[in-house]
Structure 1
Amino acid sequence: MRLTLDLRGSTEAQIRSYLQALGGENRPDGSVVGPGWTAQLTVGEHRAFGLVWPRVIVECEGESEAVEAVAKGLRLRATRGGG
């Protein structure tokens, strides 16, 4: 299974930390590998309302259940409340 998440408002370091909390290890090639899944991160920025926020695109690939668990965990950790 392959899944792409577009996470805005979190830095690459934060996303890597979240992936590590989900059982992942950073690899020399920049990927993060965990039990049953591999994630590639692409760093960018999101511009809206005259502001710039960090943006990280996570492409996760692996066993369906493992990828779904990582996606759920990342969404929970990366959610930012409005106000």
Structure 2
Amino acid sequence: MKKKRVNPRRKPATYADICTAKKQAQEKAIELTWSIFFTVLRDKEGYEIEDLQRVWKGCEDLSDSIARGYCTVADLRQILKEEAGANLK
């Protein structure tokens, strides 16, 4: 019976490696999303720097409310659906 050969260049990933990669992927996705969002506001909607700063501050405040448990993302989505008819998927 042949013995299975192991690739000598293969390095098993540790749990810490996986957590680090996950965190990096999340940060990259957030950075990409914010870049797209603010570029659209600037280029398509004509927002000036003061407007962008105001939006950023509002987003930070709402994020803080979520982090403190005052509301959830599900709550926000439900409010948008009920009050504005916006069904985000």
Same topology, TM > 0.5:
no
TM-score (norm 2): 0.23
TM-score (norm 1): 0.25
Relative CO higher for 1 or 2, CA cutoff 8 Å, sep ≥ 6? Answer: 1
Which protein has the bigger strand share?
A: 1
Which protein has the bigger helix share?
A: 2
